[in-house]
Chains A and B, each alone.
Chain A
């Protein structure tokens, strides 16, 4: 292997090297500083006589006297089932003091796209035990459903609750199925404290044994963040499609990942796109988020829950915006609900699960699920609108019907959404609570639900008789 001492320029995370042999695009590079420190990097651009390299560990200590080795292959991660229970740094090196990893295979971390004809459409209901998700934004195996959060909101608690409670009800799971759950967790630029929060919970609940943790902390090099999620997803794909696990992948915080992309783009003096983020950010994010799903003929699955914090609570910011266009919905946290003390503070109206329709209904959850969900959305939306009106004209100015809708909206937040981070409700409970609060509304207001289900589940007899009385008068 040839060694070069021909660095011509060091700029931010980038190093330019003169070369006299062809170097492959995306190849891995080792840079050894005069003090003996070895840093790793990746080829970003290659031409006949020079190469641009992004250095994962930061360029401190790299000067023109450093030597550069090209390893002749793209970045690979050693994978094995034994990774379960291990804690690794953002570049895949163990940091838990455990034994070295003996790989079964070394896999390129740039995942290939799954052929859409080879995919299996995700439609297996995952019960998270959280009413606002199970009832109205149902998660299914193989889905990518991000949590859109903002600074100061408890997204970590929600992610942990999902990781703790996620299960597939027995009658939904395929017969004779014995595949296991595993969690792959990638922390990108999160603080030590946040990392501790996750690790403590994993250890307390015993989840660590079936987890693989990749940690790039806030004071770790930013460029490393661009490889951490790829390492995590490579592990997840291996566990799912080679070892047959159902893998839940939590990626947090995608905002830090995008900041790292912007940093590299700026260092390369690329033409910036919106708000300075690179124009290829959509493609780049898609290459991460699309690594979720199921394959025909394989038992395992990769389900993704990326977490991102929206700068300035703005969901039109490029990071949440591009994410929303790629992922199959989003779970939105609300600041207002949070300050009211609602746990988890899920704002259901802007939340969405695109894969919900095929994962619910008769034989899976319950026949009335779809109608109930639509009705909850419609009535809560109306209730929220009426609140604005109440602020102006007062509650007395509203008619009886509108007052009932307001009562419903309140009950919805207090009873349906605010269940606490440690309550695990099964889907029957969730739907029964939904009927309890829907019964605040008059029967004929439930236009989204089929009549037979109203007959079966509607609990409030009062409003019905009131209507009948009116009719009799007429």
Chain B
């Protein structure tokens, strides 16, 4: 954030109540960024009523008193965009946390402002245009090696007019120096600003047809999300939302990952900060941080910055989308964002809607998720932003407003389940409640790239799990032994589906990432066991012997094998052999 700009007007504080401050004598527009009090705390105008301007302040307001000055910058909240955004950790208003640590030590003090990218650093600019070319808004004028993984494309800002290039400055430059000059006097620099509450423009939005591969079996296999799609992960505390989000951030095959820790735990963010630099991107082999931006606004940081961090994140995501990249954004958790809205709203004494949330909750959620999608960029390229939002429903009750309003928008629903988590079934995604509306549009991709019968295999698994669900109700009443043999066998197969396929150990070196081919192999191995076991049963082999062959439990070990192809092949042979020996 670099609101170090000119002051357009000065007013005076009239009242202070927590993060909400009112000022008089200030000529301001909605969403202008202001500096509050003698220490210059950053804030944003959120209401104007007659002479009184209401401001939400992004920092602690202890000791601030009426009569102190309020300075208006006359500009909305913006983010700094340019090379250096990746591999950086920000707070909710895009202040780099390492810069803040240098300036004020381990504890976050207030009144320190810092640009989102280092304005002094220089980058090696390689132009892709020459003098005489004509460029339009959104066009690439050159590239900069931002990290080992990502080539940063320098764009003509969307709010420029465009024209003929009259000057090109190749080589080392700081982000504020003009690198391309147009005939109408417009100067393109590597540094751009964009207001966070405004979506960056694009040409067109398409229907997504390619999956975002997550490396998680239950997600890729049963409930896939598209590149450019939206998903919600609701679940009570302790059900594994954060681990699920982090797994996506680590293993999904997006080019760029924006991870927003919105009102979550400090230690958890530290884990991400410590882990990510050591992890390698399975696609490129480079450090994961080289494609990642983290926004960490922990639960005890000021509430107003929690409200803005979601917008900071999505704007950064859109910036890389405009370069033609596939971006995945994880927001953990959108409930904390909604609660921040509620807290501010109640301090404004607005009329509350359902659950005390402001009446505009649904609209804000919809606006946010609508910024996801697969887009044609201004220059005719393609880029996508996929959004995965965690939801933390109070008491695990999915009927509460944030969950419900989210579900009306998103197309993939990964429902986390406390009972599964308690029995340490992870990821604790409930397979009967979850759904993906992208399945049909993604099937052709899976058929072409993984296996032609992918949709059929998936449907088989879903059918078995559904049947198990029904049978379990009967078992609860009469016991497993009272069931006919074929149903007992179905229960046995379903158990392998749960243990060998749906469960996945995020902390196991091999199992943490399961490519779609492996996901498919595990599924077909269980299917083989199913077919052979039913054949044996029909041929008269006793059910007890079928279910106790010693090869079958090894289905549970496929997940942890690095060389799984060979293992599966041998295992399938052995299962077939042992079962056929029974009759």
A residues adjacent to B (C-beta < 8 A): 22-27, 44-48, 73-74, 108, 110-122, 142-143, 241, 270-274, 279-280, 282-283, 286-287, 289-293, 295-296, 298, 315-318, 321-322, 324-326, 328-330, 349-350, 352, 354-355, 357-358, 370, 374, 377-378, 381-382, 388-389, 392-393, 397-399, 402, 444, 447-448, 467, 470-471, 474
B270 near A: Cβ within 8 Å? yes
- Choose one: B105, B274, B355, B581; the contact of A274 (CB below 8 Å): B355
Instruction: Tell me if B107 and A114 are in contact (CB < 8 A).
Output: yes
> Nearest-CB distance from A268 to chain B (Å)?
9
Instruction: Tell me if A293 and B267 are in contact (CB < 8 A).
Output: yes
In the bound complex, how far is the Cα of B392 from the Cα of A398, in angstroms? 39
- Choose one: B17, B64, B238, B342; the contact of A279 (CB below 8 Å): B342
Least CB separation from A118: chain B residue: B106
Instruction: Tell me if A471 and B550 are in contact (CB < 8 A).
Output: yes
B185 near A: Cβ within 8 Å? no
For A25, what are the chain B residues with a Cβ–Cβ distance below 8 Å? 16-18, 61-65
B202 near A: Cβ within 8 Å? no
Instruction: Tell me if A283 and B299 are in contact (CB < 8 A).
Output: yes
Contact (A279, B424) CB under 8 Å given A45-B16, A45-B17: no
Instruction: Tell me if B394 and A318 are in contact (CB < 8 A).
Output: yes
For B109, what are the chain A residues with a Cβ–Cβ distance below 8 Å? 112
1/0 per position for B45-73, CB-CB distance to A under 8 A?
00000000000000011111111100000
Instruction: Tell me if A48 and B346 are in contact (CB < 8 A).
Output: no
Instruction: Tell me if A118 and B101 are in contact (CB < 8 A).
Output: yes
In the bound complex, how far is the Cα of B274 from the Cα of A116, in angstroms? 10
Instruction: Tell me if B479 and A113 are in contact (CB < 8 A).
Output: no
In the bound complex, how far is the Cα of B268 from the Cα of A290, in angstroms? 11
User: Could you say which of B122-130, B157-165, B225-233, B470-478 contacts chain A?
Assistant: B470-478
> Nearest-CB distance from B472 to chain A (Å)?
10
B269 near A: Cβ within 8 Å? yes
Instruction: Tell me if B481 and A398 are in contact (CB < 8 A).
Output: yes
Q: Which of A292, A295, A378 has the most CB of B within 10 A?
A: A378
> Nearest-CB distance from B360 to chain A (Å)?
16
Instruction: Tell me if B480 and A280 are in contact (CB < 8 A).
Output: no
Instruction: Tell me if B265 and A398 are in contact (CB < 8 A).
Output: no
> Nearest-CB distance from A468 to chain B (Å)?
9
Name 21 interchain pairs, CB-CB below 8 A, sorted by A: A26-B61, A45-B17, A47-B66, A108-B62, A112-B108, A115-B97, A115-B106, A118-B105, A118-B106, A142-B267, A280-B343, A282-B336, A282-B339, A283-B303, A286-B300, A295-B106, A321-B237, A328-B265, A471-B550, A474-B545, A474-B581
Instruction: Tell me if A378 and B424 are in contact (CB < 8 A).
Output: yes
Instruction: Tell me if A117 and B101 are in contact (CB < 8 A).
Output: yes
For A118, what are the chain B residues with a Cβ–Cβ distance below 8 Å? 101, 105-107
Least CB separation from A278: chain B residue: B346
Instruction: Tell me if B479 and A370 are in contact (CB < 8 A).
Output: no
Instruction: Tell me if A121 and B356 are in contact (CB < 8 A).
Output: no
In the bound complex, how far is the Cα of B527 from the Cα of A344, in angstroms? 45
Instruction: Tell me if A45 and B423 are in contact (CB < 8 A).
Output: no
Instruction: Tell me if A116 and B298 are in contact (CB < 8 A).
Output: yes
B266 near A: Cβ within 8 Å? yes
Contact (A274, B356) CB under 8 Å given A25-B17, A25-B63, A283-B303: yes
In the bound complex, how far is the Cα of B161 from the Cα of A150, in angstroms? 66
> Nearest-CB distance from A363 to chain B (Å)?
16
1/0 per position for B268-283, CB-CB distance to A under 8 A?
1111011000000000
Instruction: Tell me if A357 and B481 are in contact (CB < 8 A).
Output: no
> Nearest-CB distance from B280 to chain A (Å)?
19
- Choose one: B68, B397, B477, B548; the contact of A22 (CB below 8 Å): B68
> Nearest-CB distance from B199 to chain A (Å)?
28
In the bound complex, how far is the Cα of B423 from the Cα of A185, in angstroms? 34
B582 near A: Cβ within 8 Å? yes
Instruction: Tell me if B424 and A271 are in contact (CB < 8 A).
Output: no
For B499, what are the chain A residues with a Cβ–Cβ distance below 8 Å? 447
A24-B63, A292-B267 are known contacts; what are 9 more A-B pairs with Cβ within 8 Å? A26-B61, A48-B66, A73-B63, A110-B62, A273-B356, A279-B343, A321-B394, A354-B268, A467-B548
- Choose one: B62, B107, B425, B479; the contact of A393 (CB below 8 Å): B479
Least CB separation from B553: chain A residue: A444
> Nearest-CB distance from B357 to chain A (Å)?
9
In the bound complex, how far is the Cα of B106 from the Cα of A28, in angstroms? 26
Least CB separation from A314: chain B residue: B395
For A316, what are the chain B residues with a Cβ–Cβ distance below 8 Å? 394-397
Least CB separation from B400: chain A residue: A274
- Choose one: B13, B97, B548; the contact of A117 (CB below 8 Å): B97
Closest 5 A/B residue pairs (Cβ): A316-B395, A286-B299, A381-B423, A47-B15, A324-B237
For B268, what are the chain A residues with a Cβ–Cβ distance below 8 Å? 328, 354
For A317, what are the chain B residues with a Cβ–Cβ distance below 8 Å? 395
Instruction: Tell me if A22 and B65 are in contact (CB < 8 A).
Output: yes
Q: Which of A48, A270, A295, A315 has the most CB of B within 10 A?
A: A48
Q: Give the dominant DSSP class at B's interface.
A: mixed
B98 near A: Cβ within 8 Å? yes
Docked complex: B530-573 residues within 8 A CB-CB of A: 545, 548-550, 553, 556
Instruction: Tell me if A282 and B89 are in contact (CB < 8 A).
Output: no
Instruction: Tell me if A113 and B423 are in contact (CB < 8 A).
Output: no
B201 near A: Cβ within 8 Å? no
For B267, what are the chain A residues with a Cβ–Cβ distance below 8 Å? 119, 121-122, 142-143, 292-293, 328, 355
> Nearest-CB distance from A112 to chain B (Å)?
4
In the bound complex, how far is the Cα of B270 from the Cα of A355, in angstroms? 12
B296 near A: Cβ within 8 Å? yes
Docked complex: B322-340 residues within 8 A CB-CB of A: 336, 339
For A280, what are the chain B residues with a Cβ–Cβ distance below 8 Å? 18, 303, 343, 346
1/0 per position for B390-412, CB-CB distance to A under 8 A?
00101111000000000000000
- Choose one: B238, B301, B343, B346; the contact of A330 (CB below 8 Å): B238
For B108, what are the chain A residues with a Cβ–Cβ distance below 8 Å? 112-115
Instruction: Tell me if B298 and A290 are in contact (CB < 8 A).
Output: yes
For A329, what are the chain B residues with a Cβ–Cβ distance below 8 Å? 238
Contact (A352, B238) CB under 8 Å given A25-B16, A116-B270, A444-B550: yes
For A315, what are the chain B residues with a Cβ–Cβ distance below 8 Å? 395
Least CB separation from B421: chain A residue: A352
Contact (A349, B423) CB under 8 Å given A25-B63, A45-B15, A118-B101: yes
- Choose one: B16, B421, B476; the contact of A388 (CB below 8 Å): B476
In the bound complex, how far is the Cα of B243 from the Cα of A329, in angstroms? 13
- Choose one: A116, A291, A326, A381; the contact of B97 (CB below 8 Å): A116
For B89, what are the chain A residues with a Cβ–Cβ distance below 8 Å? 116-117
For A382, what are the chain B residues with a Cβ–Cβ distance below 8 Å? 423
Instruction: Tell me if A119 and B270 are in contact (CB < 8 A).
Output: yes
Instruction: Tell me if B238 and A271 are in contact (CB < 8 A).
Output: no
In the bound complex, how far is the Cα of B266 from the Cα of A293, in angstroms? 8
For B16, what are the chain A residues with a Cβ–Cβ distance below 8 Å? 24-25, 45-47
B142 near A: Cβ within 8 Å? no
Instruction: Tell me if A48 and B238 are in contact (CB < 8 A).
Output: no
> Nearest-CB distance from B277 to chain A (Å)?
12
Least CB separation from A45: chain B residue: B17
Least CB separation from A21: chain B residue: B67
In the bound complex, how far is the Cα of B352 from the Cα of A352, in angstroms? 35
Instruction: Tell me if A74 and B397 are in contact (CB < 8 A).
Output: no
Contact (A279, B266) CB under 8 Å given A114-B106, A286-B300, A316-B396: no
Least CB separation from A330: chain B residue: B238
Instruction: Tell me if B300 and A399 are in contact (CB < 8 A).
Output: no
B482 near A: Cβ within 8 Å? yes
> Nearest-CB distance from B403 to chain A (Å)?
14
Instruction: Tell me if A271 and B479 are in contact (CB < 8 A).
Output: no
Q: Which of B106, B109, B301, B582 has the most CB of A within 10 A?
A: B106
For B346, what are the chain A residues with a Cβ–Cβ distance below 8 Å? 270-271, 279-280
Instruction: Tell me if B394 and A324 are in contact (CB < 8 A).
Output: no
For A402, what are the chain B residues with a Cβ–Cβ distance below 8 Å? 480
B440 near A: Cβ within 8 Å? no
B464 near A: Cβ within 8 Å? no
B263 near A: Cβ within 8 Å? yes
In the bound complex, how far is the Cα of B22 from the Cα of A46, in angstroms? 10
